[in-house]
Amino acid sequence: MTVLVTGGRGAVARALIGLLRERGIAVRAASSRPEDPDTVRCDLTDPSTFAAALKGVTSVLLYAEPSHIGAFAEEAAGAGVEHIVLLSSSAVLAPDAADSPVARTHLDVENALTASAVPATTLRPGSFASNALAWSRTCGRAGRSACPSPAPTATRSTRGTSPRPPSPCSPIRASAGARTP
C-alpha cells in the first residue's frame, strides 16, 4: 500500500506524512513545486503530472482543487487507486455555499469525486488550531486578524435564531455571555 499525499509542503500534509511513516506505511509526498527530491511533482492544475504521481498508489489524500478534478479522478481510477480522502471544508455546509467562492471550490471537488469510480471520504474541518496560532500575533496587537475576509460574523443570535460561529478573521475578544463554538 502506498499513500499519495498531495500538497506535500503544507502543514496538514507534512503532519500526515510523518504519521504514516512512523507507522511503516509507504507514502509518496506530492507537490506542484517539490522542494525535496523524495517529493513527486503533482500539480492539480496540470493533468500531465497525474499519471507519474499516481503510479502504484492505493490511496490519496487530496486537496480541493477543482480545475481538473474529473481528469484526476479518471487517472486515479485507471491507476488502481482504491480510496481518495478529500480535505474539503465545512464551508460547504452553509446555506449559501453555492454562492461562496471558497465553498463552491470544495463543493465542485466533492461532487466530482462522488460521481467518480473511486470511493472517497470527505473531511470537512471548520478550522485548524495551527492557523489560529499563526493569526494570534496580529489578533493580539490589533484585536482582530489582518487576513482578508468579509465582515465578521455575529457571535450572538438575534430574534431567536441560532448563534453563528465567528469567522477565523472575526474579533477574538468575547463579550460577557457570548457563546463560543
User: Among residues 117, 121, 4, which one has the least CA distance to residue 55?
Assistant: 4
Q: Could you say which of 76, 98, 123 is where a domain stops? A: 123
User: Among residues 125, 62, 122, which one has the least CA distance to residue 91?
Assistant: 125
Clarify whether residues 119 and 30 are in a common domain.
Answer: yes
* Domain range enclosing 147: 129-181
Clarify whether residues 26 and 76 are in a common domain.
Answer: yes
Whether 150 has a pLDDT exceeding 80, the answer reads: no
Clarify whether residues 43 and 84 are in a common domain.
Answer: yes
The number of domains in the chain is 2
Of 157 and 58, the structure prediction assigns the larger pLDDT to 58
Write out pLDDT tens, residues 135-145.
666 665 555 55
Are 120 and 84 in contact by the 8 Å Cβ rule? The answer is: yes
pTM: 0.72
CATH number, domain at 29? 3.40.50.720
Write out pLDDT tens, residues 24-73.
999 999 999 999 899 999 999 999 999 999 999 999 999 989 999 999 99
Distance separating alpha carbons of residues 171 and 142, to the nearest angstrom: 9
Whether 130 has a pLDDT exceeding 70, the answer reads: no
User: Among residues 102, 8, 25, which one has the least CA distance to residue 62?
Assistant: 8
Clarify whether residues 27 and 55 are in a common domain.
Answer: yes
DSSP label of 173: P
Q: Could you say which of 123, 151, 170 is where a domain stops? A: 123
Clarify whether residues 105 and 151 are in a common domain.
Answer: no
Distance separating alpha carbons of residues 31 and 6, to the nearest angstrom: 6
Clarify whether residues 118 and 100 are in a common domain.
Answer: yes
The arithmetic mean of pLDDT across residues 117-142, rounded, is: 74
Distance separating alpha carbons of residues 30 and 28, to the nearest angstrom: 6
Are 30 and 42 in contact by the 8 Å Cβ rule? The answer is: yes
